[in-house]
Amino acid sequence: MVTTTALEAELLELAGAVPDPELPVLTLRELGVVRGVRLRGADAVEVDLTPTYTGCPAVEAMSLDIERVLREHGMREVTVRRVLAPAWSTDDITDEGRRKLREFGIAPPRTTRDTGPVALRLGPTRTGTGTAEQTADPDPVRCPHCGSAETELLSRFSSTACKALRRCLLCSEPFDHFKEL
């Protein structure tokens, strides 16, 4: 069993409070990418950071922001390690993070909770229960503006690789959907 010191817990809290560079409404803790902190001496620390995907361009900015915050807190040496296993999943986003995404106008990812690979859905582009083209999806992508389950996929890619672009069929507002991984 690994014992966490009070200082390690404090440093983990500080590292986790860093805003995500692509979605500044979320902290790295809420995103679920800061995995651990270990002291390596009185003023040296190692932070485990798991990228949302292997080629995530934001990892460098996350690492620099974590280093800056922990140095401001008195750590002379800060090492941020990229940890790829276990892989990050959208299930790692906290409930608070999901709430903040919705309030920011981004549909949060649906929870997968599976231990195996995430299924890639290439079927109908609409969700809800209204028309024959729409699926009776038990977990539809809901509009973050009005809550409607009647939405359609406009593009599998949006402002970042993590998001898709959708539109609500009820209020007609376009919105990003954080894709499930």
pLDDT of residue 98: 97
Ramachandran quadrant class, 6 (left: phi over 0; alpha: psi -120 to 50; beta: rest): alpha
> If you ran DSSP here, which 8-state letter would residue 143 be given?
P
Asked if the model's pLDDT at residue 46 lies above 80, the reply is yes
Kindly tell me if the per-residue pLDDT of 136 is higher than 70: no
**Percent of the residues in the chain that have a pLDDT greater than 90, as a whole number:** 72
| Cis status, amide bond into 86, omega within 30 of 0 | yes
State the amino acid at position 39 in one-letter form.
Answer: L
3-state helix, strand, coil in the chain (%, to 5): 25, 25, 55
Q: Provide the mean pLDDT of the chain.
A: 88
- The CA-based angle 170-175-179, given to 5 degrees, is 115
What is the phi/psi pair of residue 155, to 5°? -155, 140
Could you write out the DSSP letters of every residue in 13-52? Answer: HHHHTSBPSS-TTSBHHHHT-EEEEEE-STTEEEEEE--S
Q: Which residue has the higher pLDDT, 172 or 133?
A: 172
Kindly report, residue by residue over 81-130, the tens digit of the pLDDT: 999 999 999 999 999 999 999 999 999 998 876 555 555 555 556 666 55
pLDDT of residue 117: 59
Rounded Cα distance between 124 and 133, Å, is 7
How would you classify the pairing of strands 34-39 and 44-49? antiparallel
Q: What is the largest CA-CA distance in the chain?
A: 64
As a CATH number, domain 6-82 is 3.30.300.130
For the chain, the structural domain boundaries read: 6-82, 93-178
> pLDDT category, 156, cuts 50, 70, 90?
very high
